[in-house]
Copies of this chain bind each other. A is one copy, B any other.
């Protein structure tokens, strides 16, 4: 499978998230998906994302860098958003913050089966300290 195909699938997946089109999520995410070493499955993955949108009403995923090399996609995502309360254990409380997430996705049969995500908590801490 050429890398560009996985890139296209990944871009559709991100559009699905931004549209909160949860009925379509199973097109992109494997039933047994693992997220940061936890086998949360498709339903757990959907619930995690729905909670993210509840906690961060203006959440929007923007792809900054996309690297595709089957079976992997690596993506740097950038966010400019306003978490309502605590976020990653930090008292954001409605402040607008900007941060990145560097993520590796492993695909199986064109679906995401393993996710290794790190969010830049240091960058958020620095922004909160400057206020």
- Interface flags, A117-128, vs B, CB<8A=1, else 0: 111111001000
Q: Is A103 part of the binding interface, using a Cβ–Cβ cutoff of 8 Å?
A: yes
- Per-residue CB contact flags for chain A residues 57-93 toward chain B (1 = under 8 Å, else 0) read 0000000010111001110100000000000110000
Instruction: Please provide the chain A residues from 86 to 113 with a CB less than 8 Å away from any CB of chain B in the complex.
Output: 88-89, 100-104
Looking at chain A, what size class is its interface with the partner chain? 20 to 34
Protomer copies: 2
- Contact among B68, B116, B120 with A100 in the assembled complex (CB-CB below 8 Å): B116
| Complex Cα spacing A76 to B68, Å | 14
What is the chain B residue whose CB lies nearest that of A74?
Answer: B74
Main secondary structure of the interface of A (DSSP, over half): strand
Residues of chain B within 8 A (CB-CB) of A69 are: 3, 67-69
Please indicate the chain B residues that have their CB under 8 angstroms from the CB of A117 in the complex.
102
Contact between chains at B118 and A119 (CB < 8 Å): yes
Given the known inter-chain contacts A102-B118, A116-B102, please indicate yes or no for A67 contacting B74, CB distance below 8 A: yes
Residue of B nearest to A121 (CB): B121
Shortest beta-carbon distance from A62 to chain B in Å: 14
Contact indicator A67/B76 (Cβ below 8 Å):
no
Q: What would be 6 A-B contacts, judged by CB atoms less than 8 Å apart?
A: A65-B74, A67-B68, A76-B104, A102-B103, A102-B117, A118-B118
